[in-house]
Structure 1
């Protein structure tokens, strides 16, 4: 379907990824404010797969509706609802309570259950790709659990499970949240999305992950190797699960039992999270921004001594340092990363103005 360019007016640039740019747009007929995602490079083709995935996932609560799609010049674009904020933005401003973190986890697990049952792997689970659909930030846990409040976005790296053309020996995802199997360059499966989600929840709870303290290395391939080694070393220890109830360790252990071909037992996983959420007085309003503690205070959490002790015993620790201010080496890597460029948007007023 080819969209008439005059249907949408671009209001502002609201973000970008490795291969795309996102704009706030207005439908000229209905005046509805929406989001437009467009490829940065002509004929890139990355959005074609996302369009297909969103069509296959139509009607799944927690997946943005594909309102429209088409091309301008040679680049694909999609139109979806304009969501509010992602969890990365929220986590940088305030500390999430345990109850809120667990509710977010349960919501994403329920979404992933539906995605996986359709044979789709997301492969880029990270806070930036988890959004809230409502303007309120401080909400009770029950509202977080309401279908559609949490939204999983960006299927640009997603793959169909078992697809013969699936690329091997290629890192797929984000350095910070990718599964250990992604670092190995192996075939990915349903468990890899769950492992990435586990890392997201640990980050939301602790405001950091152990491998964020690696000093920036000379090459991306070396970073992939070293961070992968740290994930392998930490995963079977208690470092990641210390600030969670015991069931979180069971969730982590269950991921370890899965193979890339195994469909997870979602009822078992959901019951673990429901059990964790039942601990404590849920009648009190658990908020997304329930703590006013500063990020500086958060970095001085109870786990720091044990993590430092653990890292000091890692092999080849000459490449590992713990700086006073953590180095954020988060990177998203895609198949065609060497081809990606940027373009200026200061003069863009409508889709017609996007030139290449």
Structure 2
């Protein structure tokens, strides 16, 4: 039973093991709190969503995490552990690993530009995560720096990237393992800055759209900007249309100007994928690993920030 105001869930229990302590942030669906295991004092993250919302998302997110962590599945670095899901006062609660700051926050700490070395390290982790994700029959559909969290500050895993916020995920395989059909006239889903051209066009998303969104995010991490940022328009639908037009007119060559050609090659290829095509994850991993060596970078585990996710003095 809840001991406090329903508007302030701090102090609420989730099951007989976990308690909500302090507010962290608002997520795409619901709010995120810091919590702890009452028996071990281990800190956790607790995601809360009111039980009476019109379109509940947290139960779906829990189901997707279970699918990713299905019994007999080899563990994949970067997939959060879910401890429990259940009621918490008038909320549904998802209890999971507690992580450090998002890529977005650390990117800002570093002046909105990551070095090539740090970016390639992130690129390789994300390619592995999306290969695993897609291998489980899931599409992510909401790529943005805010949804990828580093390990906790001051730990050996501070550079490990974790994929979170699965509220917009979707299965792309049916019960018989067949790919979903292509559908046109869909509404856009995801974060407009990074969404694919076909998403803008109202075409059903598939693996290619996740991959294209990754490419845009990587360019942003390196440059700190994208050509369609800053478009001013009060009407949301019109603004999305204008951003889509700017993306369409911006070739990979122009978008990736002053960057290693591998980023242009990647974007050109994923933009041209057929709807049901499997992306070449391992080939891209090899390509960016070769770029790391070709660029004379040293794999010394020294990045743009320290173990506390603070920018290193250059």
TM-score by length of 2: 0.82
Q: CA RMSD in A?
A: 2.5
Distance 1:170 1:125 in 2: 17
Answer whether contact 2:103 2:149 (CA < 8 A) is retained: yes
Structure 2 residue aligned with 1:221, among 237, 241, 245? 237
Secondary structure of the 1:210 match is coil
Q: Structure 1 stretch 20-29 or stretch 67-76: which is displaced more?
A: 67-76
Partner deviation per Cα, 1:88-137 (whole Å, 9 max, x = no partner):
00011113211111110111000100110111000011100111114159
How does 1:197-216 map onto structure 2 within 5 Å? Answer: 197-215=214-232
Distance 1:105 1:98 in 2: 10
Shift of 1:30: 1.5
Counterpart in the other structure of 1:180 = 197
Shift of 1:5: 4.3
Q: Please, which runs of 5 or more residues in structure 1 have no aligned partner? A: 294-356
Partner deviation per Cα, 1:159-184 (whole Å, 9 max, x = no partner):
00145699952111011111112212
Answer whether contact 1:36 1:78 (CA < 8 A) is retained: yes
Answer whether contact 2:36 2:43 (CA < 8 A) is retained: yes
How does 1:1-356 map onto structure 2 within 5 Å? Answer: 4-40=14-50, 42-43=52-53, 44-58=55-69, 59-73=75-89, 75-94=91-110, 95-136=113-154, 144=159, 149-162=160-173, 169-215=186-232, 217-234=233-250, 236-278=251-293, 279-283=295-299, 286-289=302-305
Answer whether contact 1:194 1:255 (CA < 8 A) is retained: yes
Distance 1:169 1:75 in 2: 31
Q: Higher relative contact order at CA 8 Å, sep ≥6: structure 1 or structure 2? A: 1
TM-score by length of 1: 0.73
Q: Structure 1 pair 136/73, CA: closer, same or farther in 2 (3 Å)? A: closer
Secondary structure of the 1:213 match is coil
**Count of matched residue positions in the alignment of Structure 1 and Structure 2:** 282
Q: Please, which runs of 5 or more residues in structure 2 have no aligned partner? A: 1-12, 70-74, 175-179, 306-310
